Amino acid sequence: MISTALDIAQALVRFPSVNPDYDPASAGEGAVTQWIEEWGRAHGFTVWRQPVLPGRENILLQFRNGADHPHFMLNGHTDTVGVGGMSIAPFSGEVRDGRLWGRGASDMKGPLACMMAAGLRLKNAPSTWHGTLTIACMADEEFRFRGVTAMLDQMVGRDSVEPHLERSEASKASNSGEATDSRDARFARASSVGKWGSTESHPTGKVATESHPASGLPDFAVVGEPTRLRVVRGCKGCLRFAIHALGRAAHSSKPHEGRSAVVAMAHAILELERHFATRLAQIAAPGFGTSTGSIGLISGGTGVNIVPERCTIHVDIRLLPGQDWRATHQEIQSLLGARCRQVPDVQWQFDEPSVVDPSFEFPASHPLVTTACAVLGQPAPDIVFFSCDASKLAARGVPVIVLGPGDIAQAHTVDEFIALADLEAGTEAYEKLARSLMPAA
Ligand SMILES: [Zn+2]
């Protein structure tokens, strides 16, 4: 039976699970979560399944070893970014040159496999620790964190604020495989959308109807984003929104009759760059550096012979602890309203943010941080700049660190891989940390 981190990681990489928000033709996380569910059941874990979006589910593998607490959660995600432009076969799971190659190898099917392998080792040595271990496999980390949000909402007994039906017709259609249909039918009676359903068979032959995983919120959590196995006690947050310039179209032979939205946006971009370099650069926190801004997308115009009526940019701001995203968003609106009148008769439109992801920070003296640093032999914890599921756990008061094998520099790349040695080191680190946080009674 598959039990090593390498074998598990290879199996996970071989199931395509591109987040459908990056590729509408992708079937999403369904196949990989089905495999994890079966793996967990085969190894005797209590398995919880939670629909998040159509065909996209969270899976929790849980083992209660003598007590509900301490409750330690190893948290990973099953979705990946897209595979466009990759220079290797994305789903081959090839092992070559001491590395496992493929989309998700480092972000984060490799780290998730380490969590599962560590969980299995712990389950097979119950006398060495005491408490409840949960391996949480989240959907939709790469786009809008709706998996972890749904899990936490359910754990605290609140319905998710996100609607559960936000899927394109194309991806719905591609997800109507037989396995998914039969599983949905089997568990629909046990749980409504967004609710937990235990996938353990009841002794009576019926599906168990417990509505909630044991123990509620965990006492400690680790999110396994690749950090080269460095303990991370804080991450920057993220604010994303679109800005539209609305001008007036005209034939390009009479440009004076139009109002070019593209030219107006060009002025706005220069103003924004100045704002990032001056105002955002003043917002600082120890260890985090400063808030930053980046304009990542631009589109405008419909033809070379038409003065463009519309131009849109997408802005990405990285947030620090204590930074009020509403104030940051408002400042930018005010700035453009006041300073971008170089092209008259152009209107500015600001969308509500598409992403608001808070930053998080735990003190270096927090017992979870000091315990993890002691286990890893790391003198002081780090802070990183990327966003992940950890801030959502922290926002609910769950002590959380980010700690995973592999390098974030390898995430989302054209030739993603994880070193086999890192898979072994990651498994050992999670196992040792679990024993330290849940010592034998
Ligand atoms: Zn990730």
**pLDDT tens-digit map of 385-410:** 888 899 999 999 999 999 999 999 98
pLDDT for 111 equals 98
- Specify the length of the chain in residues: 441
Handedness of CA 161, 145, 179, 4 (dihedral sign): negative
Indicate the residue among 337, 357, 377 that finishes a domain: 357
Reported confidence tier of residue 192, pLDDT bands at 50, 70, 90 = very low
Are 329 and 347 within one domain? yes
Name the band, by pLDDT with cuts 50, 70 and 90, for residue 203: very low
Same domain, 170 and 301: no
- Give the range of the structural domain holding residue 168, as residue numbers without chain letter: 5-234+359-437
345 φ/ψ sector (left φ>0, alpha ψ -120 to 50, else beta): left
**DSSP code of 105?**
I
Sign of CA dihedral 417, 420, 422, 428: positive
Do 27 and 62 have their domain in common?
A: yes
Specify the residue for token string 């417990």.
210
- Assess whether 108 and 223 both reside in one domain: yes
Q: Which residues contact 265 (CB under 8 A, 6 or more apart)?
A: 243, 245, 298, 300, 311, 313
**What pLDDT was estimated at residue 211?**
45
**pLDDT in the model for residue 201:** 39
Query: Are 318 and 206 members of one domain?
Result: no
- The pLDDT tens digits of the residues spanning 106-152 come to 999 999 999 999 999 999 999 999 999 999 999 999 988 999 999 99
Do 47 and 157 belong to one domain? yes
Q: What is the pTM of this model?
A: 0.82
- Specify the pLDDT at position 186: 23
Mean pLDDT of the chain: 87
Q: Say yes or no: 48 and 182 in one domain.
A: yes
Distance 168 CA to ligand 1 centre (A): 23
**Which of 357, 392, 414 corresponds to the end of one domain?**
357
Q: Tell me which of 323, 357, 391 is where a domain ends.
A: 357
One domain for residues 93 and 138: yes
Whether residue 223 sits in one domain with residue 91:
yes
* Distance between Cα 237 and ligand 1 center (Å): 14
Compute, in angstroms, the gap from residue 388 CA to the centroid of ligand 1: 7
| Tens-digit pLDDT profile for residues 340-384 | 776 688 999 999 999 899 899 999 999 999 999 999 999 999 999
Note residues around ion ligand 1 (Cβ under 5 angstroms). Answer: 107-108, 225
pLDDT for residue 197: 62
Tell me the Ramachandran region of residue 407: left when phi exceeds 0, alpha when psi lies from -120 to 50, beta otherwise: beta
Report CA(119)–ligand 1 centroid distance (Å). 20
Closest CA to 292 of 316, 266, 321, 322: 316
Q: How far is the CA of 185 from the centre of ligand 1 (A)?
A: 31
* Residues contacting residue 61 through CB under 8 Å, at least 6 positions apart: 36, 40, 45, 46, 47, 116, 119, 134, 135, 137
Look up residue 201 and give its DSSP letter: B
Question: Side-chain half-sphere of 177: how many Cα atoms within 13 Å?
Answer: 14
Pairing of strands 56-77, 220-223: parallel
pLDDT, residue 387, reads 86
Give residue-wise pLDDT tens across range 234-284: 999 999 999 999 999 999 999 999 999 999 999 999 999 999 999 999 999
